[in-house]
């Protein structure tokens, strides 16, 4: 395993971590100030900054872009909604290309309004990715399927295990990979095997870290800082690196009542300290 | 599939559904009043009533006992806690035998205090069940491993898929089966196959129903009444029955802000109406 004890360059800041405090411009400046090597913008902040302007700022700052969050949300109840989802994904691919993102993260979407058919939703996801894949390939933007925790199966992502994501990648071919987020996957008894499988296929496009708090008080907005919860992050990082992953650890924390309430420089300093000690 | 449209006898009331309203005595009376065929007590209510007295009341009422909730909670941080867990499970087996329960439901437990080793917790679960299994067999009480939703992996149950439970049953042998709860398992892409596998082994000991609400506002206490959420319950019941299950549908709803606030007779009437129309 790589030694992170003195590292800041293999740490990436997902802008969600300081979502309530900073604009993208401030996030870029913050990364430079703290020596953090990578950034992963969410599209709301990217849109507020402008993709072309952001691209220049990120390049001047010497930052890697570990991913753009997010494309996806494919399952749709109507033809119009289906088309809008495809259009939005193509736009996201373009933005990812503009800022030189290493991948476009796909939060694939859950059940369409009124549906109880999760098998159909999963098929819609696969078909949706297939529909935009040529554009992604032509744009040089790998698509990263991010399996989300099963508690999001209904409303955010019906791909809930790495095995499912791997199966989907096998079906779709070149240009699609996976993002491994410890928060979503730590509980899965098949995780080690599926990480090895993903690595053997050369498709691990991202490694996201935060922690699972006990108790967790909100399904969405109560993620923990690395080290504050129960996930054995070094063990999972070991699996990911043994599978050939050599990229950044991207910190993505949604934390309504804790980290979003703190001074953003304090948040970044804490991310670095935890990156060096418990990731 | 069995026709539930005029049925009340294949419905069972898990006492958690009216946890805040009724004692066990009131639950028994309520089931009789509404014609509900089965009951599944939690141990707090059973203890308050007394197991022997409850056994007589349940017998006189002509109710099946679809399960006793709960044994389990095996993983422990100390030798004392480990022994206490085994003792408590033996006591639960005795109580289940006293009331003629069709199984003892096992909520197997999560990570011991201070642990991040979920593989070890899972091994402790298997070893714990093995340690009390002779007593269960001698008592004629099948043990039902209930896989819980992955959002409970840390603090309630580190067995989170039916595949895991099936694997554990294979390792443990006679006297151990599974409870299939749609709330915990609906998202699992391998559910149909693992239900068939459990059925082929003759080990489906219970079928629990409620619903997954969108949004879900609390990880523990915001379960929905059947039909109010996104789970395709008839599809899963079809799989369970195709696998040979002929027992009751047990309603188990934890609902702090809705069903626990209502008149218990209204809750039972609603359970019956939904049992006949959407289960």
Neighbour tally for B138: CB within 10 Å: 11
**Which among B191, B116, B192 is positioned nearest to A150, based on CA atoms?**
B191
Q: Do the chains contact at B151 and A216, CB–CB below 8 Å?
A: yes
A167 lies in some domain = yes
Per-residue model confidence as pLDDT tens digits over A77-129: 999 999 999 999 999 999 999 999 999 999 999 999 999 999 999 999 999 99
Q: Specify the pLDDT at position A210.
A: 98
Residue B212 lies in a domain: yes
With respect to residue A61, please indicate whether it lies within any of the assigned structural domains: yes
CA pair distance A193, A163, nearest whole angstrom: 9
pLDDT at B215: 97
CB-based contact, B189 to chain A, within 8 Å: yes
Interface test with A, best of B77, B109, B153 (most A CBs within 10 A): B153
Residue A155 included in any domain: yes
Buried b (16+ CB within 10 A) or exposed e, A123-144: ebbbebbebbbebbbebebbbb
CB atoms B149 and A150 under 8 Å? yes
State the pLDDT at residue A50: 98
- Please, are residues B11 and B248 in contact by the beta-carbon 8 Å criterion? yes
pTM exceeds 0.95 for this model = yes
Are B151 and A153 in contact (CB < 8 Å)?
Answer: no
- Asked if A108 contacts A71 with a C-beta cutoff of 8 angstroms, the reply is no
Sheet-wide strand order for A64-65: A64-65, A38-40, A11-14, A249-251, A204-209, A176-181, A143-145, A104-107, A68-72
Whether A31 is covered by a domain: the verdict is yes
Yes or no, beta carbons of B216 and A187 under 8 Å apart: no
Predicted confidence band of residue A154 (pLDDT cuts 50, 70, 90): very high
Establish if B204 belongs to a structural domain.
yes
Per-residue pLDDT, B81 = 97
The CA distance from B219 to the nearest CA of chain A, in Å, is: 7
pLDDT attached to residue B43: 98
Q: Which of residues 136-155 of B touch A (CB under 8 A)?
A: 149-151, 153-155
Determine the distance in angstroms separating the CA of A278 from the nearest CA of chain B, rounded to an integer: 12
| A160 interface with B at CB cutoff 8 Å | yes
Residue of B nearest to A190 (CA): B164
Could you give the angle at which helices B51-61 and B24-34 cross, rounded to 10 degrees? 10
| Spatial distance between the Cα atoms of B27 and B210, rounded to a whole number of angstroms | 18
| A206: nearest Cα among A144, A149, A139, A148 | A144
How many angstroms separate the CA atoms of A183 and A253, rounded?
Answer: 10
Query: In CATH, what number is assigned to the domain containing residue A243?
Result: 3.20.20.150
Kindly report the average pLDDT of chain A as a whole number: 98
Residue of B117, B186, B215 with shortest CB distance to A155: B215
Whole-complex ipTM? 0.97
- In angstroms and rounded to an integer, the radius of gyration of the C-alpha atoms of chain A is 17
Domain contains B106: yes
| Angle of helix A118-139 versus helix A162-172 axis, rounded to 10 | 50
Cα distance from B151 to chain A (closest Cα, Å)?
Answer: 7
Nearest to A13 by CA among A209, A183, A149: A209
pLDDT value at residue B48: 98
**Residue A268's pLDDT band (cuts 50, 70, 90):** very high
Q: What is the pLDDT of residues A209-219, one digit of tens each?
A: 999 999 999 99
How much is the pLDDT for A159? 98
> Would an 8 Å CB–CB cutoff place A278 in contact with chain B?
no
> Which residues, given as ranges, of chain B have pLDDT below 70?
none
Q: How far is CA B205 from CA B112, B138, B195, in A?
A: 27, 18, 11
Residues in chain B closer than 8 A to A212 (CB atoms): 154
Q: Is position A4 within any domain?
A: no
Domains contained in chain A, number:
1
Q: How confident is the model at residue A65 (pLDDT cuts 50, 70, 90)?
A: very high
Where in the sequence is the domain holding B215, given as residue range(s)?
A: 11-277
Two tokens, residue B177: 């089966």
- What is residue B274's three-state secondary structure? helix
Average pLDDT over residues A180-205: 98
């Amino acid at each position: 395993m790589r030694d992170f004890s003195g590292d800041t360059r293999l740490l990436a800041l997902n802008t969600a971590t300081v979502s309530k405090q900073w604009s993208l411009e401030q996030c870029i400046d913050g990364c430079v100030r703290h020596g953090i090597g990578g950034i992963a913008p969410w599209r709301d902040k990217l849109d507020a900054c402008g993709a072309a302007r952001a691209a220049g700022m990120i390049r001047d700052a010497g930052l890697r872009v570990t991913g753009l969050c997010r494309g996806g949300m494919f399952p749709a109840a109507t033809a119009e909604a289906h088309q809008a989802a495809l259009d939005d994904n193509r736009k996201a691919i373009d933005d990812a290309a503009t800022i030189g993102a290493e991948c476009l993260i796909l939060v694939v979407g859950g059940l369409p309004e009124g549906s109880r058919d999760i098998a159909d939703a999963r098929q819609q996801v696969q078909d949706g990715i297939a529909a935009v894949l040529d554009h992604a390939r032509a744009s040089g933007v790998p698509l990263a399927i991010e399996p989300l925790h099963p508690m999001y199966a209904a409303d955010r992502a019906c791909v809930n295990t790495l095995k499912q994501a791997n199966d989907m990648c096998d079906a779709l071919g070149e240009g699609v990979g996976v993002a491994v987020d410890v928060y979503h996957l730590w509980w899965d008894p098949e995780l080690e095997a599926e990480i090895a499988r993903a690595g053997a296929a050369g498709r691990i496009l991202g490694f996201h870290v935060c922690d699972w708090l006990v108790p967790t008080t909100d399904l969405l907005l109560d993620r923990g800082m690395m080290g504050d919860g129960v996930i054995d992050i070094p063990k999972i990082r070991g699996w990911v690196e043994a599978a050939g992953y050599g990229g950044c650890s991207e910190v993505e924390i949604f934390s309504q009542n804790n980290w979003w309430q703190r001074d953003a420089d304090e948040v970044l300093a804490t991310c670095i300290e935890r990156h060096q000690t418990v990731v």
